[in-house]
Chains A and B, each alone.
Chain A
């Protein structure tokens, strides 16, 4: 089974007196929905940020789809792997929902019609067509979350990383998000999801990794 993310003996710390990861190694396969869970401060979000090149390890190396991320630009990583922040506002930039979907691809010079067609298709899939002309920050939290995921799918990434996608969502919104995740699974897109929501973990997780203070304390497949 092909590996999407490989952490090889990495070390990382935010403060010198409290190392978070030391000689940490882990391989995540592309085909699965892998869930990362653990208490606050166990290193879940840090691990995803390291995988995306947002943080640099002090030691060791990280490979993303076979490439050492030390030699990759953030833009290049973003084209291959989609990342949804815990707070969707962080990744909403444009003045309308439609512009939010289309501007990165248009800036990169992709054909307009192709970009618009893909945006329309994804807005329909994520049930956001009615908000096309709306300012993204005026959407509800659940809609913002869906928009953030839809926008990152514009690049057709081969893998997704979602940081606490169920945080601040009620049961109904979690259900809508679950449908989105199942749709992605049908499209054979693997995912790494950070979550605390036990029902959500049981429903979607093919592999469940539990972290505690920078160590894997449980790693089980279903």
Chain B
């Protein structure tokens, strides 16, 4: 288990890519469930902080659940399961579709959490050594770095706005929407200004001045990586072939 936890970031990138791609390709509940549990097992083997991440993204998980319920209610195909006052609320096909949607998105989330077991720098290096152009790898790294900053900035703006004497709890919904407009304007302005500053700083440090880059820190695949990739991609292949027979 410890050896898998220390596996090469390239192995993690390939597994996450394979897992999320198959989650989008597969439609049936059985294959999606198998993929989801594979993702959970891989997370456990790689010692990802799955529970902490789930707590952090709980609002997104609630949103996923809400969409699944709506999808189930608005599906008109299949046999009725729950009917209230002559109105069919849940049908079997709607329920299956909603479950499939929920498991598919959960698998994508679980595949992304595998990447959280490597540092941002390691992932960028992994992408580069997988022959991804450095500019793209760097852009991915910057995007990952900016997301928490954007979140903090939104929270700071919300605090500063409330300190202007605006009690959000007593405002009606129409005025609350107006408040969000006031918050988004400075946050977006800052994001654009930060992006411009970063781009200037990169130019100043001669980013892309030479076509070839050398790396001080390089990644090396070990035996455990080859075994892990063979087992995981073997399972993916078996699952794909199995679907053709079902």
A79 to B170, CA, bound (A): 14
A80 to B162, CA, bound (A): 12
- B162, B164, B171, B185: the one contacting A95 at CB < 8 Å is B185
B186 contact set on A, CB distance < 8 A? 89, 92-93, 137
The answer to whether A85 touches B175, judged by C-beta atoms less than 8 angstroms apart, is no
Is B159 interfacial (CB 8 A cutoff)? yes
Q: What is the size, in residues, of chain A's interface with B at 8 Å between Cβ atoms? A: 27
A108 to B164, CA, bound (A): 11
Number of A-B contacts (CB under 8 A): 70
Task: List A residues 61-101 near B (Cβ within 8 Å).
Answer: 73-79, 83, 85, 89-95
A54 contact set on B, CB distance < 8 A? 159, 163
B17 to chain A minimum Cβ distance, whole angstroms, is 36
Task: List B residues 157-188 near A (Cβ within 8 Å).
Answer: 157, 159-171, 175, 178-179, 182-183, 185-186
A8 to chain B minimum Cβ distance, whole angstroms, is 22
Closest to B159 in A: A54
A105 to B167, CA, bound (A): 11
Is A178 interfacial (CB 8 A cutoff)? no
Closest to A83 in B: B163
Closest to A90 in B: B160
Q: What is the size, in residues, of chain B's interface with A at 8 Å between Cβ atoms? A: 24
Is A210 interfacial (CB 8 A cutoff)? no
Task: List A residues 38-70 near B (Cβ within 8 Å).
Answer: 52, 54
Is A155 interfacial (CB 8 A cutoff)? yes
A95 to B181, CA, bound (A): 11
B189 contact set on A, CB distance < 8 A? 137
The answer to whether A74 touches B163, judged by C-beta atoms less than 8 angstroms apart, is yes
**What are 20 A-B contacts defined by CB distance under 8 Å?**
A54-B163, A73-B162, A73-B169, A75-B166, A75-B170, A76-B167, A78-B166, A90-B160, A93-B186, A95-B185, A104-B161, A104-B164, A104-B166, A107-B166, A107-B171, A107-B175, A108-B165, A151-B164, A152-B163, A155-B164
Apart from A92-B186, A151-B164, list 12 A-B contacts with CB within 8 A. A73-B167, A74-B167, A78-B164, A79-B165, A90-B160, A93-B160, A93-B186, A95-B185, A103-B182, A105-B165, A137-B186, A152-B164
